[in-house]
Structure 1
Amino acid sequence: MKNAAAVFDVSAIALSGLCLLHCLALPLLAALLPLFGTWSEAEWVHGVFVLIAVPLTSYALWRAHRHRPLPAALWLLAGTGLALLLAGASGGLGERAETPLTVAGSLALASTHLWNAARRHAR
């Protein structure tokens, strides 16, 4: 069971990394390659990341919580990360806020899963 929890944490961290790559690296590559430019501007990509992040994070943390209750601060960090991702993906706060919100959300989620993994190894 510990291996399954590790897979979910690693998957969530990898997803956060992909999100960061999408937000930070693709706009730079867009100047060089029109294909990357098209993909970096595709709004559906943000929705897909959120649709994957919410159940993956929820399930990983729920499984960890069943074995050893998670501190409220960890749940708060996860909720904040997911809320920031959702706010960035929705576009409701404007195009200028999209990248900072998404990057902050990705970093918060990656931090959540790193913290969860560290707790698992500290037992």
Structure 2
Amino acid sequence: MERPSYATRLKLDRMGIALSGLCAVHCVASILLVGLLGLGGQWLLAPEIHEFGLGLAILVGAATIGVGVLRHGRMMPLAVGGFGLALMGVALTVPHGAHEAFLTIAGVVCVAIAHVMNLRAHSF
């Protein structure tokens, strides 16, 4: 199996950071739109959106951070990213609301930080 190029890994790490940001925006928008305006609850809070997002985060994280660890040998991006994914997974098990939003946002922040750490580890 051919290893992905540096440019490909860079793009995937950046995509991971962007997806983390989109997830955080989705959380905040969902709380505002559903909580304050009563709009969009049927699709903004659908479990499938959250499950799909976690699955995508796992795929992108494995493709970038996992391969990065194999290349640069630094385990911290993997540990931080894994912790973030675990927080996101736990968020799927709690009812919608402030606890879910906190866990999800904390998780995506950890995942984004892990992608940044992975990018920095490649540049040294």
TM-score (norm 2): 0.84
Structure 2: how far apart are the matches of 1:106 and 1:77? Answer: 10
Name the counterpart of 1:56: 60
Name the counterpart of 1:110: 112
Deviation at 1:114, TM superposition (A): 0.9
Name the counterpart of 1:15: 19
Choose between structure 1 and 2: higher helix proportion.
1
TM-score (norm 1): 0.84
Give the residue type in structure 2 aligned to 1:66. Answer: L
- Which structure 2 residues correspond to residues 1-123 of structure 1 after superposition, within 5 A? 1-30=5-34, 31-32=36-37, 34=39, 36-70=40-74, 72-91=75-94, 94-96=95-97, 97-121=99-123, 123=124
Give the residue type in structure 1 aligned to 2:107. Answer: G
Which runs of 5 or more structure 2 residues have no equivalent in the other structure?
none
Structure 2: how far apart are the matches of 1:38 and 1:27? Answer: 13
Q: How many residues align?
A: 118
